[in-house]
Chain A
């Protein structure tokens, strides 16, 4: 896939230039600006108990990779790509053992006694529904439907055709719908 021309918006661009001059203050601002999207993406792809460590891993990789970024890609697309790589690495390393989070979430519906139990129940259903998906399908639905990333950017991020993104999105949604119907949720 051909590399895009520089698309970094001015504010990010200025911060990145500061980071390239080894200004940690610029990096602090960059972190504060983008940490939430990194955090929520990782939350949807990985376990919450390791979230802080994974966020740290993402931003250290960002710092190391900034000298290679300029002129190659849009910063947010590049950031999501790093975030996804960190999530994929974590999943690979954790694949051998069943995570504590998964076992907890399977028990949550029976343990929840909060007044807004229905809200928590739906949240739990979405968590469980996402874990049912393959990592490719889950990544696309998280990035597109939860993070509002355009399909074209996802295609560029994974270096796959746009049609593949559409196809994965379609099948991921169908699987989620099927799961929710099985849980007696009608949309």
Chain B
């Protein structure tokens, strides 16, 4: 005999016909009275189960790492702490020496500074002091428009100074 199909597996408590789920005391009584007798357990079943549980306990204890003693914790800290402390000391010493070396560099005199500023200033306005000016060798290209005659004259003078082929 095939079991009847469950017509509504998601039927909830708000079923419109709740009396159809009423108890069936005659059937329940028959089932309880003649329910299959449970055979006795084998005498060693309890010990088998306890032994299986003990095996589980043993396995879990052997799988877990052993608890760490305070002495072991101290030694572990020392093992990792000492190399870290040495590395930090070396880094600090090296960094300090670099700072000290920078601090020891002599401060130039005012005269030297003035000469440096003047030289930089002049170089900034000397077009031939820049390697990129080779690309713009024609002074007409310097400003994007025809330069004035005075600028051209000055440029020619500078060109002649640098070029050995100029005899004027």
Contact = CB atoms under 8 A, between A and B. Distances in A.
Given A164-B9, A170-B20, A123 B27 contact: no
B41 to A, nearest CB: 6
Contact of A169 (B4, B21, B30): B21
A177 B24 contact: yes
B49 interface: yes
B16 to A, nearest CB: 11
A103 to B, nearest CB: 16
A13 to B, nearest CB: 19
Given A123-B35, A167-B6, A170-B20, A132 B49 contact: no
Contacts of B24: 173, 177
Interface residues of B, number: 43
Contacts of A180: 27, 30
B28 A126 contact: no
Given A24-B57, A126-B34, A31 B26 contact: no
A117 interface: no
B49 A59 contact: yes
A81 interface: no
B21 A28 contact: no
Interface stretch (A3-11, A32-40, A89-97): A32-40
B32 interface: yes
A75 interface: no
Contacts of B33: 122
Interface residues of A, number: 57
Contacts of A132: 1-3
A126 B15 CA distance: 29
A185 B42 CA distance: 35
Contacts of A187: 26-27, 30
Interface string A131-173: 0111011000100011000000000000001111011111111
Contacts of A56: 45, 48-49, 52
B38 interface: yes
Given A24-B57, A52-B41, A169-B21, A137 B11 contact: no
A154 to B, nearest CB: 13
Nearest to A128: B1
Contacts of A174: 4
Interface of A: 22, 24, 27-28, 31-32, 35-36, 39-40, 43-44, 48, 51-52, 55-56, 59-60, 63-64, 119, 122-123, 125-127, 132-134, 136-137, 141, 145-146, 161-164, 166-180, 182, 185, 187
Interface of B: 1-4, 6-15, 18, 20-21, 24, 26-28, 30-39, 41-42, 45-46, 48-50, 52-54, 56-57
Closest 7 CB pairs of A and B: A122-B34, A163-B12, A166-B21, A187-B26, A163-B11, A167-B11, A134-B3
24 contacts: A24-B53, A27-B53, A39-B38, A52-B41, A52-B42, A55-B49, A56-B49, A64-B56, A126-B30, A133-B3, A134-B3, A145-B28, A145-B31, A145-B32, A146-B31, A162-B12, A163-B10, A163-B12, A164-B12, A166-B11, A171-B6, A173-B24, A175-B1, A187-B26
